[in-house]
Protein backbone atom coordinates (compact mmCIF):
# COMPACT_ATOMS: atom_id res chain seq x y z
CA UNK A 1 0.00 0.00 0.00
CA UNK A 2 2.82 2.39 0.86
CA UNK A 3 4.33 1.88 -2.60
CA UNK A 4 1.00 2.81 -4.20
CA UNK A 5 0.90 6.09 -2.28
CA UNK A 6 4.48 6.90 -3.28
CA UNK A 7 3.75 6.04 -6.91
CA UNK A 8 0.57 8.11 -6.81
CA UNK A 9 2.34 11.20 -5.46
CA UNK A 10 5.29 10.91 -7.84
CA UNK A 11 2.89 10.04 -10.66
CA UNK A 12 0.90 13.21 -10.07
CA UNK A 13 4.06 15.31 -10.33
CA UNK A 14 4.93 13.53 -13.58
CA UNK A 15 1.42 14.21 -14.91
CA UNK A 16 1.77 17.88 -13.92
CA UNK A 17 5.06 18.13 -15.84
CA UNK A 18 3.52 16.43 -18.88
CA UNK A 19 0.50 18.75 -18.72
CA UNK A 20 2.84 21.75 -18.64
CA UNK A 21 4.76 20.44 -21.65
CA UNK A 22 1.45 19.84 -23.43
CA UNK A 23 0.47 23.48 -22.81
CA UNK A 24 3.83 24.77 -24.03
CA UNK A 25 3.60 22.70 -27.21
CA UNK A 26 0.00 23.85 -27.75
CA UNK A 27 0.89 27.53 -27.42
CA UNK A 28 4.08 27.33 -29.47
CA UNK A 29 3.07 25.00 -32.29
CA UNK A 30 -0.57 24.68 -33.16
CA UNK A 31 -2.37 27.52 -31.38
CA UNK A 32 -1.01 30.06 -33.91
CA UNK A 33 -2.33 27.87 -36.74
CA UNK A 34 -5.76 26.84 -35.44
CA UNK A 35 -6.65 29.46 -32.83
CA UNK A 36 -7.16 29.31 -29.09
CA UNK A 37 -10.36 27.27 -28.82
CA UNK A 38 -9.42 24.47 -31.21
CA UNK A 39 -5.89 24.35 -29.79
CA UNK A 40 -7.39 24.01 -26.31
CA UNK A 41 -9.64 21.18 -27.49
CA UNK A 42 -6.81 19.34 -29.24
CA UNK A 43 -4.50 19.62 -26.25
CA UNK A 44 -7.29 18.42 -23.95
CA UNK A 45 -7.71 15.22 -25.95
CA UNK A 46 -3.94 14.72 -26.10
CA UNK A 47 -3.64 15.26 -22.35
CA UNK A 48 -6.40 12.78 -21.53
CA UNK A 49 -4.69 10.13 -23.67
CA UNK A 50 -1.33 10.89 -22.03
CA UNK A 51 -2.89 10.63 -18.55
CA UNK A 52 -4.38 7.22 -19.30
CA UNK A 53 -1.16 5.90 -20.83
CA UNK A 54 1.01 7.16 -17.97
CA UNK A 55 -1.44 5.85 -15.36
CA UNK A 56 -1.41 2.44 -17.01
CA UNK A 57 2.38 2.33 -17.23
CA UNK A 58 2.77 3.53 -13.65
CA UNK A 59 0.40 1.02 -12.07
CA UNK A 60 0.17 -1.86 -14.54
CA UNK A 61 1.64 -4.36 -12.06
CA UNK A 62 -0.50 -3.08 -9.18
CA UNK A 63 -4.02 -3.01 -10.62
CA UNK A 64 -4.88 -6.64 -9.89
CA UNK A 65 -3.56 -6.68 -6.32
CA UNK A 66 -5.09 -3.45 -5.00
CA UNK A 67 -8.76 -2.85 -4.17
CA UNK A 68 -11.07 -0.68 -6.22
CA UNK A 69 -11.44 1.68 -3.28
CA UNK A 70 -7.71 2.45 -3.37
CA UNK A 71 -7.87 3.37 -7.07
CA UNK A 72 -10.79 5.69 -6.40
CA UNK A 73 -8.76 7.37 -3.64
CA UNK A 74 -5.76 7.72 -5.97
CA UNK A 75 -7.99 9.39 -8.56
CA UNK A 76 -9.56 11.61 -5.92
CA UNK A 77 -6.13 12.63 -4.63
CA UNK A 78 -5.02 13.49 -8.15
CA UNK A 79 -8.21 15.48 -8.71
CA UNK A 80 -7.73 17.51 -5.51
CA UNK A 81 -4.04 18.12 -6.24
CA UNK A 82 -4.81 19.17 -9.81
CA UNK A 83 -7.59 21.56 -8.81
CA UNK A 84 -5.48 23.07 -6.02
CA UNK A 85 -2.59 23.54 -8.43
CA UNK A 86 -4.77 24.99 -11.18
CA UNK A 87 -6.50 27.53 -8.99
CA UNK A 88 -3.79 28.45 -6.51
CA UNK A 89 -0.90 28.64 -8.98
CA UNK A 90 -3.12 30.00 -11.75
CA UNK A 91 -4.37 32.82 -9.56
CA UNK A 92 -1.57 33.62 -7.14
CA UNK A 93 1.48 32.87 -9.31
CA UNK A 94 0.28 33.67 -12.82
CA UNK A 95 -2.20 36.35 -11.77
CA UNK A 96 -5.21 34.96 -13.63
CA UNK A 97 -8.59 36.14 -12.40
CA UNK A 98 -10.93 33.60 -10.84
CA UNK A 99 -13.39 34.15 -13.72
CA UNK A 100 -10.68 33.40 -16.28
CA UNK A 101 -9.76 30.20 -14.45
CA UNK A 102 -13.40 29.13 -14.22
CA UNK A 103 -13.98 29.87 -17.92
CA UNK A 104 -12.02 26.73 -18.85
CA UNK A 105 -14.81 24.67 -17.26
CA UNK A 106 -17.54 26.05 -19.55
CA UNK A 107 -18.46 23.17 -21.86
CA UNK A 108 -21.07 25.36 -23.57
CA UNK A 109 -18.26 27.65 -24.73
CA UNK A 110 -16.34 24.68 -26.11
CA UNK A 111 -13.88 24.58 -23.22
CA UNK A 112 -13.11 20.97 -22.31
CA UNK A 113 -10.88 21.22 -19.24
CA UNK A 114 -13.54 19.54 -17.08
CA UNK A 115 -12.97 16.38 -19.15
CA UNK A 116 -9.33 16.35 -18.02
CA UNK A 117 -10.47 16.63 -14.41
CA UNK A 118 -12.92 13.75 -14.89
CA UNK A 119 -10.25 11.68 -16.67
CA UNK A 120 -7.66 12.22 -13.96
CA UNK A 121 -10.21 11.06 -11.38
CA UNK A 122 -11.43 7.95 -13.20
CA UNK A 123 -8.20 6.81 -14.91
CA UNK A 124 -6.79 4.71 -12.04
CA UNK A 125 -10.12 3.01 -11.31
CA UNK A 126 -11.10 2.51 -14.96
CA UNK A 127 -7.72 1.04 -15.86
CA UNK A 128 -7.81 -1.27 -12.84
CA UNK A 129 -11.10 -2.67 -14.15
CA UNK A 130 -9.61 -3.09 -17.60
CA UNK A 131 -6.54 -4.84 -16.21
CA UNK A 132 -8.34 -7.22 -13.81
Mean pLDDT of 27-32: 97
Per-residue pLDDT averaged across 60-89, rounded?
Answer: 96
Confidence of residue 113 (pLDDT cuts 50, 70, 90): very high
Contacts of 128 (CB under 8 A, 6+ apart): 59, 63, 64, 66, 68, 71
Domain boundaries of the chain, sorted by first residue: 2-131
Residues in the chain: 132
Tell me what pLDDT residue 18 has: 98
Structure confidence at residue 130 as a pLDDT band (50, 70, 90): confident
pLDDT-derived band of residue 23, with 50, 70 and 90 as boundaries? Answer: very high
pLDDT of 127: 96
pLDDT category, 21, cuts 50, 70, 90? very high
Q: What angle do CA 112, 22, 85 make, to 5 degrees?
A: 70
Q: What is the mean pLDDT of residues 117-121?
A: 98
Amino acid sequence: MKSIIIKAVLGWFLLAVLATINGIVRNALYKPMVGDLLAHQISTVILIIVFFVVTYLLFRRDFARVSDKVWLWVGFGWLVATEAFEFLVGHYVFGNSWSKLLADYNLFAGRLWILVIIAIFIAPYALSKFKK
